[in-house]
């Protein structure tokens, strides 16, 4: 192991340099404060490695994404979502027997406790399904409080999230809940809980099932992003799995993270309803005073292209063609991408379409309502969150996550009793 030398106020400090298997390097500053009294400062954590992990590798410059070493392009083409979930959570691709057992376990735990249905009655019809998903994920901890039962709880969580998601949709449209069916696969079952109605038989469309697997796979993990770091942060205190994942769901909901897929579609609809002038929106995104951003563009890590977006761009064409759907929003998306990719503002800042740019068009084509887009992201990300939580819990070097700060508030001052306080009121 080599050292880096830091020169601080005339004194030298040797800091160990660590390297990952893909030769990415980091300066280990964990001893810096004890040695020198200084902390590092990195708002937004753009330069901070918060853990070491063997789950997902990303090279943002070269557009590489691998789960447990397998390139995303190969996984996307050849695997099912359940297989990928197994790979992420347990570290290796399952054998036939392992996959069959895992799938069977997932199938057998899809039902919610009947009591939990009452929770849905309490939410308003207009409740955003992400709010419901987060609340229901946390409430699972009240039904399964035994934290020693880690494996059953992992299975329960993966199995029940699609049921919760589908129930939240049914609630929003005033339809009865459709119970899970044990003769269907994970994704088929989700589709029937979403779209079946009690009065009609429901047949799962094969193309829809295939593309749903693809979408979930592409979202399954993405190393230390905002929601995953949140899961690790909450989990580092020893909080239970369900609470940690509930926090991750809340973090994902934000429009700069998973919430971007809903925002992209709303933006495309907006462009269309305002006459389709794509250049006007590109201009607005460049104007800092407008506060408008091109949703679905840019990424903290990818500075060349997002391999997930490349896969989805192609899939959007194929899916719409095979489902005989013609969507004017797809043409707007393509035009927007083309203009932005040739614009110096986006080129200089290395802003490319991200995973959320084309996913919404596909969700729309397979009948998923806009408000459910981020929920779909959460269903896909669940195995990644669980794998990262498990890795953290199993790592003997894990400590409670507790960043430092640089204080910028008032210096010490004497307390002023209430009767002696005077403040000039500033009126607008
Ligand atoms: N439209 C216009 N300008 C942008 C955009 C955008 N979508 N994204 C970044 N910029 C500008 C930003 O204003 C800044 O400009 P300047 O250097 O002049 O100050 C520069 O590009 C660098 O951006 P940043 O905000 O410092 O980058 P970040 O790494 O902090 O943020 C991001 C990354 C994804 C939050 C951001 O690009 C963004 O807000 N994109 C739109 C929301 C979005 O699509 N989010 C989904 C991300 S992918 C799915 C996921 O994993 O969550």
Q: Give pLDDT tens digits for 245-263.
A: 999 999 999 999 999 999 9
Under 8 Å between Cβ of 110 and 162: yes
The atom of ligand 1 lying closest to the CA of 299 is: 34
Residue 390 token pair = 């498990």
- Selecting from 3.40.630, 3.30.450, 2.20.28, 1.20.58, what CATH number does the domain 3-59 have? 2.20.28
- State residue 428's pLDDT score: 60
Q: Give pLDDT tens digits for 159-209.
A: 999 999 999 999 999 999 999 999 999 999 999 999 999 999 999 999 999
The atom of ligand 1 lying closest to the CA of 296 is: 44
CA-to-CA distance for 99 and 78, rounded, in angstroms?
A: 15
Mean pLDDT in residue range 29-56? 97
Number of other CB atoms surrounding residue 26 within 10 Å? 16
User: Which residue owns the Cα nearest ligand 1 atom 28?
Assistant: 300
In the chain, what are the domain boundaries?
A: 3-59, 81-254+370-394, 260-365
CA 388 to chain CA centroid, Å, is 13
The atom of ligand 1 lying closest to the CA of 225 is: 51
pLDDT band, very low/low/confident/very high, at 148 (cuts 50, 70, 90): confident
Whole-prediction pTM:
0.95
User: Which residue owns the Cα nearest ligand 1 atom 20?
Assistant: 349
pLDDT band, very low/low/confident/very high, at 427 (cuts 50, 70, 90): low
Q: What is the CATH number of domain 81-254+370-394?
A: 1.10.580.10
- Among 66-70, 171-175, 238-242, which stretch is predicted with the lowest mean pLDDT? 171-175
The atom of ligand 1 lying closest to the CA of 226 is: 52
Q: Is-catalytic flag, 356?
A: yes
- pLDDT > 80? residue 156: yes
Beta bridge partners, 71, equal 66
The reply to whether 3-59 and 81-254+370-394 are identical in fold is no
Q: What percent of the chain has pLDDT over 90?
A: 96
Mean pLDDT in residue range 123-136? 95
C-alpha torsion sign, points 220, 226, 231, 232: positive
- State residue 30's pLDDT score: 95
User: Could you tell me the distance, in angstroms and rounded to a whole number, from the CA of residue 110 to the centre of ligand 1?
Assistant: 37
Q: Name all residues whose Cβ lies below 6 A of ligand 1.
A: 44, 222, 225, 256-258, 260, 285, 293-300, 349, 351, 354-356
- pLDDT > 70? residue 146: yes
The atom of ligand 1 lying closest to the CA of 349 is: 21
pLDDT band, very low/low/confident/very high, at 423 (cuts 50, 70, 90): confident
- State residue 425's pLDDT score: 66
Q: What is the CA radius of gyration of the chain?
A: 24
Question: 299, 342, 343, 394: which one is catalytic?
Answer: 299
Mean pLDDT in residue range 252-281? 96
User: What architecture does CATH give domain 260-365?
Assistant: Orthogonal Bundle (1.10)
Q: Is-catalytic flag, 42?
A: no
> Who has greater pLDDT, 424 or 101?
101
Q: Which of 227, 258, 298 to mutate to test the pocket of ligand 1 (most atoms within 8 A of CB)?
A: 298
Residue 52 token pair = 């070491």
Mean residue pLDDT of the chain comes to 96
Number of other CB atoms surrounding residue 78 within 10 Å? 10
User: Which residue owns the Cα nearest ligand 1 atom 10?
Assistant: 298
Beta strands across the sheet bearing 64-67: 56-59, 64-67, 70-71
Question: 209, 221, 306, 356: which one is catalytic?
Answer: 356
User: Which residue owns the Cα nearest ligand 1 atom 27?
Assistant: 300
User: Could you tell me the distance, in angstroms and rounded to a whole number, from the CA of residue 40 to the centre of ligand 1?
Assistant: 24
User: Could you tell me the distance, in angstroms and rounded to a whole number, from the CA of residue 293 to the centre of ligand 1?
Assistant: 8
């Amino acid at each position: 192991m080599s050292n880096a030398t830091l020169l601080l106020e005339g004194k030298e400090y040797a800091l160990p340099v660590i390297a990952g298997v893909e030769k990415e390097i980091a300066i280990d500053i964990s001893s810096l404060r004890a040695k020198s009294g200084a902390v590092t400062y990195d708002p937004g954590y753009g330069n901070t490695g918060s853990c070491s992990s063997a789950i997902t590798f990303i090279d943002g410059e070269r557009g590489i994404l691998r789960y447990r070493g397998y390139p995303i392009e190969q996984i996307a083409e050849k695997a099912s979502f359940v297989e990928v979930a197994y790979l992420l959570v347990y570290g290796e691709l399952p054998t036939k027997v392992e996959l069959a057992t895992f799938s069977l376990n997932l199938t057998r735990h899809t039902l919610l406790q009947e009591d939990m249905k009452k929770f849905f009655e309490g939410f308003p019809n207009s409740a955003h399904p992400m709010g419901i998903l987060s609340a229901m994920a946390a409430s699972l901890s009240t039904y399964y409080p035994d934290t020693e039962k880690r494996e059953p709880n992992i299975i329960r969580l993966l199995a029940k999230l699609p049921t919760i998601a589908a129930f939240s949709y049914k609630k929003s449209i005033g339809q009865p809940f459709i119970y899970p069916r044990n003769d269907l696969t994970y994704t088929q079952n989700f589709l029937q809980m979403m779209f079946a109605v009690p009065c009609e038989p429901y047949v799962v469309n094969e193309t829809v099932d295939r593309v749903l697997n693809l979408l979930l796979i592409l979202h399954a993990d993405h190393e230390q992003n905002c929601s995953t770091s949140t899961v690790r942060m909450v989990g580092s205190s020893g909080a239970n799995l369900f609470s940690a994942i509930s926090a991750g769901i809340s973090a994902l909901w934000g429009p700069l993270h998973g919430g971007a897929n809903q925002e992209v579609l709303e933006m495309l609809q907006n462009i269309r309803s305002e006459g389709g002038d794509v250049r006007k929106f590109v201009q607005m995104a460049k104007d800092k005073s407008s506060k408008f951003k091109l949703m679905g563009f840019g990424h903290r890590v990818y500075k060349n292209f997002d391999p997930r977006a490349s896969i989805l761009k192609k899939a959007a064409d194929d899916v719409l063609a095979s489902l005989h759907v013609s969507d004017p929003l797809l043409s707007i998306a393509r035009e927007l991408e083309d203009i932005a990719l040739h614009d110096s503002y986006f080129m200089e800042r290395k802003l490319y379409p991200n995973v959320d740019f084309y996913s919404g068009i596909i969700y729309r084509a397979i009948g998923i309502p806009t408000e459910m887009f981020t929920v779909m992201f959460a269903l896909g990300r669940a195995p990644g969150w669980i794998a990262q939580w498990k890795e953290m819990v199993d790592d003997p070097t894990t400590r409670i996550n507790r960043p430092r700060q640089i204080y910028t508030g008032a210096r010490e001052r004497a307390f002023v009793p209430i009767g002696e306080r005077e403040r000039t009121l500033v009126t607008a």
